[in-house]
Amino acid sequence: MTEKDQLIRKEFPILKNRNVIYLDNAATSQKPPCVIEAADQYYRMYNANPLRGLYALSVDATDAYENARKTVADFIGAARPEEIVFTRNASESLNLIAYSYARTFLKEGDEIICTIAEHHSNMLPWQQAAKVTGAKLTYLYCEKDGTLTPQMLEDIITERTKLVAVTQISNVFGRLNDIKGFAKVAHDHGAVLVADGAQSVPHVPVDVQDLDCDFLAFSGHKMFAPMGIGALYAKYDLLEKMPPFLYGGEMIEYVTTEGATYAEVPHKFEAGTVNVGGAVGLAEAIRFMQRFGWDLITKREEELTVYAMEKMKQYPYVHVIGSEDPKEHHGIITFKLDGVHPHDIAAIFDAHGIAVRAGHHCAQPLMKYLGTLSTTRASLAFYNNKEDIDAFVETLMQIRKEMGYAE
Amino acid sequence: MQNNTFYNEVLTDHNLHPIHKHHLEDANFSLEGVNPSCGDDIILNLKVEDGRIVDGAYEGDGCAISQASADMMLDLVIGKSKEEAEHLADIFLRMIKGSITEDEKEELEEASILSDVSHMPARVKCAVLGWHTMQEMLEEV
């Protein structure tokens, strides 16, 4: 391990505590002590029900929550903090768009387009919204290597298309999609662009104003923050005209027995007591990433992906899904190993202390399109290092022998 | 590197060279068993005459545990009566839950090598797929 490796490793004690080589970062990341302590400190020093209490402690809790919102807004380049709605995770953010925006503004005869490469979280909400509104759901098929271009959207979009949903980085291919290009095509045809940022926001710099996407959903837990906190970015004027998602406490202005007027954006989308500890943890996770910086994070992840894929290429029985260029993978390496089922592959890795993901990666329609039932995925974070990759490849090359093949 | 997994030779042999993985032309009972979460998928075919399993086979895709388990199950139950097969299924499923006597384990012959699955919660569904499918099928016999 290099000095830098050791320095970064110190931030993730679980890797040593459990002696695990953790290569399932696309599922969730590990958490550094500063994040755990920030949430802990909130509950020790600032906890009260925010937004309502007329006493110092509640004001502190409110400040902690709203400062976290500002940190998130700045991190993704939002024009103002009110454009950030805190949710539980990317799935909830996407559902919020489907329930509040799509079900209100879409009608029979309209069209929704989502790509075949989407995680179920960015597919099922649109399937349901289409069923309820009578809109038609059309799939944009990627190339078999995961390529998706704005021109491919241009070829199928119509004047009836009202919403286009595209992942910024696929959790199977790892390819970075041209969200700016997709947004332009969508806007040219009068549609809004929903970007799934669950895999991108933790791994590449994202600037929503530059991308000009209308919505961006992401989770905190994939970017070193606690589980149970995520965010939805949406353009302010869209949030203004959208109805609430959930109804109840903290999201109203004035209530009578007949009805209510709703709180201002973004509070009208945050019904009930909110997750301040989670939001504080997410803000600290962002500062943690900023302390290391994008240059280091993206460079390390790219170097490790190149290193891993070069080694995997030497072994004829392994086949990586997606681009042959490691730079198109953003730390996500999904693969098949001839003759061995992914669940057996993952079990053998586990027996060697290596955590990888096996299965359909919550993308069953994509797996069917690729003609496979399931695959295995190793996904990196910047705390991984070459020793992790060496152990991973060494084990990978033993698996067929353990399963009874001669080589 | 040492082989510290439980994929021993018996298991891998049943997976790579299954005896009963083929089509069964004259089967009179057929049932598909699926584990939706991991995609294990087998079609179990039995030929049952006068309450006795005279032949059996399976087809499908899945992990080594699901495939080898189905193969070893058929090794055991072909030639047995419906009641004997149900008895073995009961023992096998209890073995996977970790509650079985040594004598009972012996009745399972080779299939007893899967007893370690009781410590692998993620793989239980794989090991029991064939047995559950057979149990369901025998209810119709």
CA quadruple A370, A373, A376, A381: dihedral positive or negative?
Answer: positive
Q: Tell me, what CATH number does A309's domain have?
A: 3.90.1150.10
A198 shares a domain with A76: yes
CA-based nearest distance B139→chain A, Å: 30
Rounded to whole angstroms, what are the CA distances from A32 to A16, A75, A298? 12, 19, 18
A10 shares a domain with A76: no
Report strand pairing: A21-22 vs A192-196.
unpaired
> Does the residue A28 lie in any domain?
no
Contact criterion met (CB < 8 Å) for A402 and B37: no
CA-based nearest distance A296→chain B, Å: 33
Domain that holds residue A357: 3-23+293-402
Closest chain B residue to the Cα of A344, Cα to Cα: B63
What is d(CA A66, CA A50) in angstroms, rounded to the nearest whole number?
Answer: 10
A68 shares a domain with A10: no
**Number of residues in chain A:** 407
pTM (2 d.p.): 0.92
What is d(CA A114, CA A141) in angstroms, rounded to the nearest whole number?
Answer: 9
A307 shares a domain with A256: no
B63-94 residue pLDDT tens: 999 999 999 999 999 999 999 999 999 999 99
Tell me the one-letter amino acid at A188: D
Query: Which of chain A's residues have a Cβ under 8 Å away from the Cβ of B3?
Result: 402
Interface membership of B4 toward A (CB under 8 Å): yes
Cα of A153 vs its chain's centroid, Å: 22
Contact criterion met (CB < 8 Å) for B16 and A405: yes
Contact criterion met (CB < 8 Å) for A347 and B5: yes
A276-313 residue pLDDT tens: 999 999 999 999 999 999 999 999 999 999 999 999 99
Rounded to whole angstroms, what are the CA distances from B138 to A322, A345, B47, B87, B98? 45, 33, 11, 11, 24
Q: Residues with Cβ < 8 Å from A17, sequence gap 6 or more?
A: none
A334 shares a domain with A238: no
The beta-carbon neighbor of B64 closest among A341, A373, A395 is A341
* Beta carbons of A87 and A232 less than 8 angstroms apart: yes
Q: Tell me, what CATH number does A47's domain have?
A: 3.40.640.10
Tell me the one-letter amino acid at A172: V
Domain closes at, from A225, A256, A289: A289
> Does the residue A377 lie in any domain?
yes
* Beta carbons of A99 and A133 less than 8 angstroms apart: no
User: How many CB contacts within 8 angstroms connect chain A with chain B?
Assistant: 58
Report strand pairing: A111-115 vs A161-167.
parallel
* Beta carbons of A78 and A236 less than 8 angstroms apart: no
A207-249 residue pLDDT tens: 999 999 999 999 999 999 999 999 999 999 999 999 999 998 8
pLDDT score of A207: 98
pLDDT score of B4: 55
Residue B45 has pLDDT above 90, yes or no: yes
Burial class (CB in 10 A: 0-12, 13-18, 19+), B32: exposed
CA quadruple B8, B10, B11, B15: dihedral positive or negative?
Answer: positive
A153 shares a domain with A263: yes
A58 shares a domain with A7: no
Q: Which residues of A264-295 are buried (b: 16+ CB within 10 A; e: fewer)?
A: ebbbbbbbeebbbbbbbbbbbbbebbeebeee
pLDDT score of A131: 97
pLDDT score of B2: 46
Query: Which of chain A's residues have a Cβ under 8 Å away from the Cβ of B123?
Result: 343, 347
Structural domains of chain B, ranges and CATH numbers in brackets: 9-138 (3.90.1010.10)
pLDDT score of B1: 43
Contact criterion met (CB < 8 Å) for A403 and B9: no
> Does the residue A325 lie in any domain?
yes
A259 shares a domain with A148: yes
Closest chain B residue to the Cα of A347, Cα to Cα: B5
* Beta carbons of A400 and A407 less than 8 angstroms apart: yes
* Residue A3 in tokens: 């000095």
CA-based nearest distance A108→chain B, Å: 33
| Unique residue bearing structure tokens 């038609």 | A136
**Mean predicted confidence (pLDDT) in B124-133:** 95
Residue B11 has pLDDT above 70, yes or no: yes
> Does the residue A245 lie in any domain?
yes
What is d(CA A94, CA A270) in angstroms, rounded to the nearest whole number?
Answer: 14
Interface membership of B34 toward A (CB under 8 Å): no
The beta-carbon neighbor of B4 closest among A351, A360, A373 is A351
CA-based nearest distance B4→chain A, Å: 7
A322 shares a domain with A265: no
A303 shares a domain with A285: no
Number of domain units in chain A: 2
**Mean confidence (pLDDT) of chain B:** 92
Active site positions of A, annotated: 362
Report the 10 Å Cβ neighbour count for A183. 24
Query: Which of chain A's residues have a Cβ under 8 Å away from the Cβ of B65?
Result: 343-344
Mutate one of A341, A360, A367, A394 to test the B interface: name it (highest B CB count within 10 A): A341
Contact criterion met (CB < 8 Å) for B15 and A404: yes
> Does the residue A39 lie in any domain?
yes
* Residue A296 in tokens: 């280091």
A334 shares a domain with A210: no
> Does the residue A29 lie in any domain?
no
Contact criterion met (CB < 8 Å) for A343 and B7: no
End-to-end CA distance of chain A: 30
Cα of A236 vs its chain's centroid, Å: 22
The interface predicted TM-score (ipTM) is: 0.86
CA quadruple A263, A266, A267, A272: dihedral positive or negative?
Answer: positive
Phi, psi torsion values for A392, nearest 5 degrees: -60, -50
A352 shares a domain with A333: yes
What is d(CA A259, CA A257) in angstroms, rounded to the nearest whole number?
Answer: 6
C-alpha closest to that of B76 among B46, B31, B37, B102: B46
pLDDT score of A48: 94
The radius of gyration of chain B from alpha carbons, rounded to an integer in Å, stands at 14
pLDDT by residue, tens only, chain A of 407 residues: 899 999 999 999 999 999 999 999 999 999 999 999 999 999 999 999 998 778 999 999 999 999 999 999 999 999 999 999 999 999 999 999 999 999 999 999 999 999 999 999 999 999 999 999 999 999 999 999 999 999 999 999 999 999 999 999 999 999 999 999 999 999 999 999 999 999 999 999 999 999 999 999 999 999 999 999 999 999 999 999 999 999 988 787 888 888 888 889 999 999 999 999 999 999 999 999 999 999 999 999 999 999 999 999 999 999 999 999 999 999 999 999 999 999 999 999 999 999 999 988 788 889 889 888 789 999 999 999 999 999 999 999 999 999 999 88
**Omega of the bond leading into B36 within 30 degrees of 0 (cis):** no
Domain closes at, from A257, A289, A321: A289
Domain closes at, from A262, A289, A316: A289
Q: Which DSSP string corresponds to B31-59?
A: EEEEETTTTEEEEEEEEEETTEEEEEEEE
Rounded to whole angstroms, what are the CA distances from A86 to A58, A76, A181, A205, A329? 18, 14, 27, 20, 29
* Beta carbons of A126 and A163 less than 8 angstroms apart: yes
CA-based nearest distance A402→chain B, Å: 7
Mutate one of B63, B67, B119 to test the A interface: name it (highest A CB count within 10 A): B63
